[in-house]
Amino acid sequence: MKGFTEIMEISISKSFNGFKVIENISFRVNPGEFVCVVGKSGCGKTTLLRIIAGLEEYEGEIKLDTERIGFVFQDDRLLPWKTALENVLFPIGIEKKIEKGDVELAKKILKLVGLEGFEGYYPKELSGGMRQRVGLARAIIIQPDILLMDEPFASLDELTRQKMQEELIQLWERDRKTVIFVTHSIDEAVFLATRIVVLTPRPSKVAGEVKIDLPRPRDRTSSEFNLYKRKVLNLLRLKSES
Partner 1 sequence: MRLKILSIATVLILWYAAVLVGVLALPLPHEVAEKFIALFFNPEPVLGKNLIQHSISSLIRVISGSFIAFFLAIPLGILMGWRLSVDAYFSTMIEVFRPIPPLAWIPLAYIIFAGFSNSTQLAQIFIVFLGAFFPCLLSTREFARATDKNLIEMAKAFRASDASILKEVVIPSSIPGIISGVRIGLGIGWMTIVAAEMLATSGSGLGYFIMVMYEVGGRVEEIISGMAMIGLIGYLMNEVVILAEKKLLRWR
Binding site for partner 1 (CB under 8 A): 53-55, 67, 69, 71, 73, 75, 77, 79-82, 90-91, 93-95, 122-124, 142
Name the minimum Å distance from CB 91 to partner 1. 4
Name the minimum Å distance from CB 201 to partner 1. 25
Other CB atoms within a 10 A radius of the CB of residue 78 amount to 23
Residue from 152, 240, 138, 144 nearest 188 by CA? 152
- For residues 50 and 195, which CB has a smaller minimum distance to partner 1 in the complex? 50
- For residues 54 and 217, which CB has a smaller minimum distance to partner 1 in the complex? 54
Name the minimum Å distance from CB 75 to partner 1. 7
Q: Can you tell me whether residue 123 is helix, strand or coil?
A: helix
Other CB atoms within a 10 A radius of the CB of residue 50 amount to 18
Report which secondary-structure segment, H or E, holds 211.
strand 204-211
- For residues 139 and 190, which CB has a smaller minimum distance to partner 1 in the complex? 139
Please return the burial class of 43, using the count of CB atoms within 10 Å of its CB with bins 0-12, 13-18 and 19+.
Answer: buried
Name the minimum Å distance from CB 153 to partner 1. 18
Sign of the CA dihedral with 220 first, then 42, 46, and 179 last: negative
- For residues 95 and 175, which CB has a smaller minimum distance to partner 1 in the complex? 95
